[in-house]
Structure 1
Amino acid sequence: MPKIRLSFPAVHSGRLARFFGAALVTLGLALSAASAEEIPQGASFFDDFDSFDESRWGISDGWANGTWQNCQWSKDAMSVSDGYLHLRFRRQPTESRDYICGEIQSRNTYGFGVYEARFHTSRGSGLNAAFFTYIGPHHGKPHDEIDFEVLTRDTSRVSLNTYVGGQPNNGKSVPLPHAADDGFITYSFIWSEEGITWYVDGVKMHTTSAGSPLPTHAQKIYASFWGSDSFPNWMGRFDEPEQELTMTVDWIAFTAQGESCRFPASLLCALE
């Protein structure tokens, strides 16, 4: 689902066209056609959040992605403790919003390889717990994106999607092995020249269709937990939470294409 993305520490655009017109899509497609760049291979990592690595992650802080987002990104909505990353949604009025919400984003971009995160999330209508990759016009690139989104009105499913040049492709909603608020689940996707395949707890759930457009640019990695009262048909009617809600992340990892399994919980260990 389109959303404006903000890049640490400056503003950037992304997921924009559906709500703000076709101009950005046109630009994105033109840039994509003009540059079939070879995707660089970023350095592999496994981050178990025993501490917060400021050289790897930036914290989204002090803005909202658009008028439709009912919370403001805030460093106060993010913390690391006891080996977990906590991204929160709670009532805390700011200069522009009644709520704050949490997001981290990688400082570097990453290319072909295996992307993985293990997290659980609270239940709440009108909220989105997301693990995804993104690059966009603010970075001088067209809007490319690969998504896992748990729309927490229904924690039994996760939405999968890609954006290429600002256009959605290969979207699908798939069931989870248990409700996302009942415990941790591992979300993984493999991105290569041939396509993208999504896995949940090591089980293949979806793959891009033959001949469909694919992202062609290295992307940043994001984890975010945010809310909106503008998309009742997609995210559900926003119901103000009675208490603070949390997306809790156990770990996030990237393994560059061509490398073997680097840690026991990796999808690659099961596939090798």
Structure 2
Amino acid sequence: MPKIRLFPSACHSARLARSFGAALVAFSLAPPVPAAEEIPQGSSFFDDFDSFDKSLWGISDGWVNGTWQNCRWSKDAMSVSDGYLNLQFLRHPTEKLDYICGEIQSRERYGYGVYEARFRTAQGSGLNAAFFTYIGPHHGKPHGEIDFEVLTRDTSRVSLNTYVAGKPHNGKPVPLPHPSDDGFITYSFVWSKDGITWYVDGVKMHETAAGSPLPTDAQKIYASFWGSDSFPNWMGRFDEPEQDLTMNVDWIAFTAEGESCQFPASLLCKLE
């Protein structure tokens, strides 16, 4: 199997495009992956983080996605303990930045199917707790993305979105059953050639509009917790946290289209 490179995600680079133009985004991303290093296609999985599966996940470490990000991705902001993946936003001053933050990304890419994660966030303005899929130019593909983003200045809702060829479609904030920092919530979306449908705790919240552009390339799976002081209108003014903050992920799963429910808590068990 060819070596798999881990590169920055573009969940937040997409927002940079919206605010400052695609040229800046292209500058902030890594160069395309050579054809010999094409990311392999993954299959169904359920990961409850009893341990960290290095064959499934890579850790974003040692870079930032752009000058607008006020934390550096670091392996020191990620841990697995007591059955949880912990992604943190930590004060850790360096010459350039005062904070480090945590992200994992799948080593493989995934296509049509059911994507699910159960997590709890912290609360804080200027921070983003995200579960999403992404593929882009540094993988040799157009920018595609499907998002759940809890902008933790307001933990009562989650933002949903897609990007197709670098352009946003079907964006919508939806209410959560309880504040995301009060307890765990399950976030799921079903992606097929006909559309994307988002669910929160098994309740349908949003779907792509008929005839809207849809992602077609398989994508990598990400979970991240990061901050910025560059987007006050979107993420809120960045307020320096009084303590280290954590996004706790209970589990992440993918079930390929056409396959049966693989664990009791899956949305697919309710839909079958």
Deviation of 1:8 (Å) = 4.9
Q: Show the counterpart of 1:92.
A: 92
Q: Show the counterpart of 2:212.
A: 212
Q: Is contact 2:8-2:60 (8 Å) kept?
A: no
- 1:178-208 residue CA offsets vs partner (Å, 9 max, x unmatched): 0000000000000000000000000000000
Residue range with higher mean Cα deviation, 197-206 or 88-97: 88-97
**AA aligned opposite 1:103:** E
Q: Distance in 2 between matches of 1:166 and 1:10?
A: 17
**AA aligned opposite 2:52:** F
Q: Distance in 1 between matches of 2:124 and 2:25?
A: 32
* Change in 2 beyond 3 A, CA 1:8/1:181: farther
Q: Show the counterpart of 2:6.
A: 9
Q: Distance in 2 between matches of 1:168 and 1:234?
A: 15
Q: Show the counterpart of 1:194.
A: 194
* Change in 2 beyond 3 A, CA 1:8/1:95: farther
Deviation of 1:9 (Å) = 3.0
Q: Show the counterpart of 1:268.
A: 268
**AA aligned opposite 2:155:** T
**AA aligned opposite 2:178:** H
**AA aligned opposite 1:124:** G
TM-score computed with the length of structure 1 as normaliser: 0.89
Q: Show the counterpart of 1:4.
A: none
* Change in 2 beyond 3 A, CA 1:177/1:56: same
* Unmatched 5+ stretches in structure 1: 1-6, 27-39
Q: Is contact 1:41-1:112 (8 Å) kept?
A: no
Q: Distance in 2 between matches of 1:12 and 1:244?
A: 23
TM-score computed with the length of structure 2 as normaliser: 0.89
**AA aligned opposite 1:9:** L
RMSD (CA atoms)? 1.8
- 1:130-158 residue CA offsets vs partner (Å, 9 max, x unmatched): 00000000010000000000000000000
Q: Show the counterpart of 2:112.
A: 112
Instruction: Tell me the number of residue pairs that the alignment of Structure 1 and Structure 2 aligns.
Output: 253
Q: Show the counterpart of 1:53.
A: 53
- 1:203-226 residue CA offsets vs partner (Å, 9 max, x unmatched): 000000000000010000000000
Q: Is contact 1:151-1:158 (8 Å) kept?
A: yes
Query: What percent of counterpart residues are identical?
Result: 82
Q: Show the counterpart of 2:233.
A: 233
